Amino acid sequence: MAGDVGLTDMPACAVVDLLNRGEVTPLDCLDALEARTAIVDVAVNALPTLCFDRARDQALLLMQRPIGSRGRLAGLPVPIKDLTDVAGVRTTYGSTVFADHVPEKSDILVETIEAEGGVIYAKSNTPEFGAGANTFNDVFGATLNPWNTKLSAAGSSGGAAVALATGMAWVAQGSDLGGSLRNPASFCGVVGLRPSPGRFASNPGAKIDRLLNVKGPMGRTVEDTALLLDAMTGESPADPLSLPRTESFLAAVRSGWRPARVAFSADLGITPVDPEVASICRAAAARFGEIGTLVEEAHPDLSEAHDTFQVMRGLAFAASYAGLLESHADKMKPEVVWNIEKGLGYSMADLVRAENNRAAMFRRMNAFFDTYDLLLCPATIVAAYPVGERYVKECDGHTFSNYVEWLAIAYAITLTTSPALSLPCGFTSDGRPVGLQIVARGRAEGRVLAAARALELVLDLGPITPIDPRSG
């Protein structure tokens, strides 16, 4: 099957089954991806850095182990977001400051994926330092939405989502602070899961007690996303937040668990939402009723989300990039400079207020899940917008005050530490995908995934990806 591009149409779980039966090899998978990437990436720019030679070396080492003992991924290739270090592979963080950076050591998470039989073959595109939900940068340019290449793929895991949607990946690693997994999943018609903080071990970075920014899995289906989640999960003494592996999330998906009572909110009480997006998501949420779930309209009080997120995000950017601002401000995009400066300008009173408000929001969300198994809402407030617009400036008559405020429906959930998944749930009248956000109590990824799989079956959208890029 070497070079068989048709292999890339298959679900990741099916390909892993083939690998575990010896019917294909990791090299066959790499040949198929390389052929597919050569055909389609010129139209979408999702995987700007390829490392197939390194991947084949890794695959040959893996193939020295007996079939069936090659880890959970068994030789399945995985692209890594260009914010995450891979040893010996150009890693730019989407910034011209690091345009020629080649790390000597991989991030802990990459080492975990490789230990579970994942073969790294590419870096996926991201905006500079992951800032802004539109994947463009001055190193590689913009990543385009394959449903309409005039539109944004969102971000910051835009390259990962587009690689999935076009058959250049079976699963993909991303990350999420203000929706960076959920936004591109919604825009591109794939699945993106923001897990609970600590679910994976990863290099801590400047702020070791981080709760906002997490890495996570993406896939074309819920099962495929759970497969990668299992391969990423685990603890390390080098990451003080990391949690031990306690369950199989793929088994949770297949457990048959169904929620008894869920809440739907079109706006969480904090943001405008495009009426068509709200209608699509409401209709999808209502279909939980077909499996016996009670669906009600409700949401917790998240009214402090805007101020709290701005302060906490500003602190994170200041801690991570203040030194670069002093030496390389001229090389950074204005939104990043603004975020760092905002962070440096906050007072101790601002930080105390934000921490207190975040704690209050967490407590309310946790109490909310005493009544409801899940909270449902749109993953994003709009469908894909023109790629030339740096961010969404207006929605349903409301003008946003900055470049991240339009992401509130995602970042409000981030602040509560709840796991959240974007599931394809329908299309706008002009064919743009829309994602439903499924949220549960902290550390309840198994419930999120099981419920998402149940709804995926009810919605029966079919294998909507992979697709060939469509221009306009």
CA 38, 40, 44, 50 dihedral sign is: negative
Over the stretch 276-310, which tens digit does the pLDDT of each residue have?
Answer: 999 999 999 999 999 999 999 999 999 999 999 99
Over the stretch 402-417, which tens digit does the pLDDT of each residue have?
Answer: 999 999 999 999 999 9
Over the stretch 142-151, which tens digit does the pLDDT of each residue have?
Answer: 999 999 999 9
Which residues face 375 on adjacent strands?
A: 263, 439
Alpha-carbon distance of 161 to 79, in angstroms, equals 11
**What is each CA distance from 399 to 13, 54, 130, 186, 392, in whole angstroms?**
43, 47, 23, 22, 9
Range of weakest confidence among 100-114, 205-219, 371-385: 205-219
What's the burial of 394, exposed, middle or buried (CB within 10 Å: 0-12/13-18/19+)? exposed
Domain assignment present for residue 466? The answer is: no
Closest by CA to 162, choosing from 131, 193, 183, 140, is 183
- Predicted pLDDT at 166: 98
Domain assignment present for residue 58? The answer is: yes
Closest by CA to 239, choosing from 203, 187, 265, is 203
- Predicted pLDDT at 6: 86
Domain assignment present for residue 471? The answer is: no
Tell me the pLDDT band of 139, cut-offs 50, 70 and 90.
very high
- Predicted pLDDT at 399: 98
Residue 331 CA to chain centroid, in angstroms? 26
Query: Is position 215 annotated as part of the catalytic site?
Result: no
Tell me the pLDDT band of 270, cut-offs 50, 70 and 90.
very high
Catalytic residue among 95, 152, 156, 418: 156
Residue 35 lies in domain: 5-459
Domain assignment present for residue 465? The answer is: no
* Secondary structure of 136-187 as H, E, C letters: EECCCEECECCCCCCEECCCCCHHHHHHHHCCCCCEEEEEECCCCCHHHHHH
Quickly count: other Cβ atoms within 10 Å of residue 372's Cβ.
23
Over the stretch 248-258, which tens digit does the pLDDT of each residue have?
Answer: 999 999 999 99
**Phi and psi at residue 58, to the nearest 5°:** -65, -40
Give yes or no for a cis peptide into 433 (omega within 30° of 0): no
Domain assignment present for residue 158? The answer is: yes
Put simply, whether the predicted model's pTM sits higher than 0.75 gets the answer yes
63's CB contacts (< 8 A; 6+ apart) are 25, 26, 27, 70, 75
Q: Is the pLDDT of residue 4 over 80?
A: no
Give yes or no for a cis peptide into 157 (omega within 30° of 0): no
What is the rounded average pLDDT of the residues 234-242?
96
* Residues 123 and 136 sit within 8 Å (Cβ to Cβ): no
Domain assignment present for residue 215? The answer is: yes
Alpha-carbon distance of 268 to 303, in angstroms, equals 9
CA 223, 443, 83, 333 dihedral sign is: positive
State the alpha helices, DSSP H only, in 287-422.
305-328, 334-345, 348-368, 408-415
Over the stretch 15-49, which tens digit does the pLDDT of each residue have?
Answer: 999 999 999 999 999 999 999 999 999 999 999 99
Residue 399 CA to chain centroid, in angstroms? 26
Q: Is the pLDDT of residue 210 over 90?
A: no
- Predicted pLDDT at 5: 46
In one letter, which amino acid is 177? Answer: L
Query: Is position 236 annotated as part of the catalytic site?
Result: no
Domain assignment present for residue 54? The answer is: yes
Over the stretch 344-395, which tens digit does the pLDDT of each residue have?
Answer: 999 999 999 999 999 999 999 999 999 999 999 999 999 999 999 999 999 9
Domain count, the chain: 1
* Secondary structure of 175-214 as H, E, C letters: EECCCCCHHHHHHHCCEEEECCCCCECCCCCCCCCCCCCE
- Predicted pLDDT at 37: 98
Task: Kindly compute the dihedral angle of the four CA atoms of residues 19, 454, 266, 311, in this order, to the nearest 10 degrees.
Answer: -50
Catalytic residue among 95, 152, 175, 180: 180
Q: Is the pLDDT of residue 80 over 60?
A: yes
Query: Is position 175 annotated as part of the catalytic site?
Result: no
446's CB contacts (< 8 A; 6+ apart) are 247, 249, 252, 253, 255, 257
Q: Is the pLDDT of residue 3 over 80?
A: no
Q: What is the CATH number of the domain that holds 212?
A: 3.90.1300.10
Domain assignment present for residue 470? The answer is: no
**Phi and psi at residue 210, to the nearest 5°:** -65, 135
- Predicted pLDDT at 209: 87
Q: Is the pLDDT of residue 2 over 90?
A: no
Strand order in 119-124's β-sheet? 49-50, 119-124, 77-81
Across 214-243, b (16+ Cβ under 10 Å) vs e yields bbbbbbbbbbbbbbbbbbbbbbeeebebbb
Alpha-carbon distance of 435 to 194, in angstroms, equals 14
Q: Is the pLDDT of residue 155 over 70?
A: yes
Segment holding 435, helix H or strand E: strand 433-439
| Average pLDDT of every residue of the chain | 97
Which residues face 295 on adjacent strands?
A: 262
